[in-house]
């Protein structure tokens, strides 16, 4: 039994949740999110409470139960307050800037790296600090991870992208004779 799936989800004031077939729509002050859900889980919306129940009693359905509850909670939280992730770019000559709908990066390669910013995300670049903001937790996390994977931090000098809360364990390096 899923502990998260069994819990009732409260709908706060100012947030509207609708279910049309397998599509759940959450509308709030910051925007609207829609997501498709499989028919393995029954989603019931009454007044200001959402409950989830199993349709089938198999392992796959049980695994989706808590996952769907977490997705719905994240959607409700996102339309109230946007999700924010921060990356710090360290290294001499490394630069980042936002031009229109693209993120332009100079990461020490022979060419500039240009990444298209997904719809619904806002990216700000101040010096070498990138801030990713959006109402969809999945999109914010996935795009931040994609940008970080372009130049992961290395353990000797710490050059590359790192999350603002991430601590890079440093290695000693070469010893001179």
The CATH class, in words, for 3-80 is: alpha beta
Q: How far is CA 27 from each of CA 46, 68, 81, 141, rounded to the nearest angstrom? A: 16, 17, 12, 21
pLDDT computed for residue 153 by the predictor: 93
Long-range contacts of 141-146 (CB under 8 A, 24+ apart): 141/83, 141/85, 143/117, 143/118, 144/85, 144/87, 146/115
The domain segmentation of the chain, as residue ranges, is 3-80, 83-163
Q: Which fold has domain 83-163?
A: Outer Surface Protein A; domain 3 (3.90.930)
Q: Give 29-46 pLDDT, tens digit per residue.
A: 999 999 999 888 999 999
User: For residue 86, which of 163, 143, 158, 149 has the smallest C-alpha distance?
Assistant: 163
Partners of 123 in beta bridges: 132
d(CA 9, CA 163): 30
- In angstroms, the CA 97 to CA 114 distance is 10
CA distance 127 to 109: 19
pLDDT tops 70 at residue 14: yes
Contact between residue 7 and residue 66 where contact means Cβ atoms under 8 Å apart: no
- Are the beta carbons of 49 and 11 closer than 8 angstroms? yes
pLDDT for the residue 114: 95
pLDDT tens for each residue of 137-156: 999 999 999 999 999 999 99
In the numeric block, which tokens belong to residue 54? 């199993």
Token output for 53: 């129940």
**Average pLDDT estimate for 88-112:** 93
């Amino acid at each position: 039994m899923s502990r998260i799936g069994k819990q009732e989800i409260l709908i706060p004031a100012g947030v509207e949740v609708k279910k049309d077939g397998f599509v759940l729509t959450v509308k709030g002050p910051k925007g609207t999110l829609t997501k498709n859900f499989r028919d393995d889980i029954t989603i019931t919306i009454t007044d200001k409470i959402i409950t989830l129940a199993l349709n089938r009693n198999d392992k796959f359905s049980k695994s989706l139960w808590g996952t769907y509850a977490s997705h719905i909670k994240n959607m409700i939280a996102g339309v109230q307050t946007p999700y924010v992730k921060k990356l710090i770019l360290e290294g001499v000559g490394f630069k980042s800037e936002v031009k229109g709908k693209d993120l332009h990066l100079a990461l020490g390669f022979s060419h500039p790296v240009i990444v298209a910013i997904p719809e619904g995300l806002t990216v700000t670049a101040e010096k070498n600090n990138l801030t990713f903001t959006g109402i969809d937790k999945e999109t914010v996390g996935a795009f931040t991870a994609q940008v970080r994977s372009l130049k992961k931090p290395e353990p000797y000098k710490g050059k590359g992208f790192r999350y603002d809360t991430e601590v890079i364990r440093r290695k000693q390096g070469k010893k001179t004779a």
